[in-house]
């Protein structure tokens, strides 16, 4: 299924790197600060992330105030806009994607936690900007 109408798309090599890589770097908002590593999944050729921790100064809360940010994928740094996901169908697909991708004995507990209501409510699509 194509990306949402009118939204820019990530190039195929970037999607593949996110699909097969375990961690991307993320920096939320426009204020300069360090990148942190998070898990990301690709669903319907779109990139989704969830917050495991909902701390007051989390990347997710920063995106609620300022949806612009950057990600690193391999050696590439890309500008993104964060779009909060409301679709239950997409959230279900993201649940499945996290469980399929992060299934090692050390990560499965966290992948399951990302499917619980608290983290599920933070489902965010990252859309490339130019």
pLDDT tens column, 4-21: 567 789 999 999 999 999
**CA 51, chain centre distance (Å):** 8
Which residue is listed with tokens 């996901």?
85
pLDDT classification of 130: cutoffs 50, 70, 90: confident
For the chain, domains (ranges, CATH) are 12-126 (2.30.110.10)
* 85 φ/ψ angles, rounded to the nearest 5 degrees: -95, 130
* Token pair belonging to 105: 């004995």
pLDDT digits (tens, 9 = 90+) for 74-124: 999 999 999 999 999 999 999 999 999 999 999 999 999 999 999 999 999
pLDDT in tens, 23-59: 999 999 988 888 999 999 999 999 999 998 778 788 9
**Cα–Cα nearest to 63, from 84, 35, 78:** 84
Q: Which helix (H) or strand (E) holds 79?
A: strand 76-84
CA gap 123, 126 in Å, rounded: 10
The per-residue pLDDT for 33 is 82
As separate numbers, helices (DSSP H) first and strands (DSSP E) second, the chain gives 5, 7
Query: Which distant-in-sequence residues (6+ apart) come within 8 Å of 125 by Cβ?
Result: 46, 47, 48, 82, 83, 84, 85
Dihedrals phi, psi of 53, to nearest 5 degrees: -115, 130
What is residue 5's predicted lDDT score, i.e. its pLDDT? 62
């Amino acid at each position: 299924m194509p990306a949402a109408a009118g939204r820019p798309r990530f190039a195929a090599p970037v999607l593949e790197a996110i699909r097969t890589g375990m961690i991307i770097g993320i920096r939320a908002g426009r204020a300069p600060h360090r990148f942190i590593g998070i898990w990301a999944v690709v669903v319907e050729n779109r990139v989704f992330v969830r917050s495991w921790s909902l701390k007051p100064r989390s990347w997710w809360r920063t995106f609620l105030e300022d949806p612009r940010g950057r990600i690193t994928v391999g050696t590439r740094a890309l500008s993104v806009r964060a779009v909060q996901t409301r679709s239950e169908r997409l959230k279900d697909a993201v649940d499945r994607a996290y469980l399929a991708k992060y299934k090692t004995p050390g990560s499965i507990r966290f992948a399951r936690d990302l499917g619980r209501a608290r983290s599920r409510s933070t489902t965010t699509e990252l859309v490339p900007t130019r």
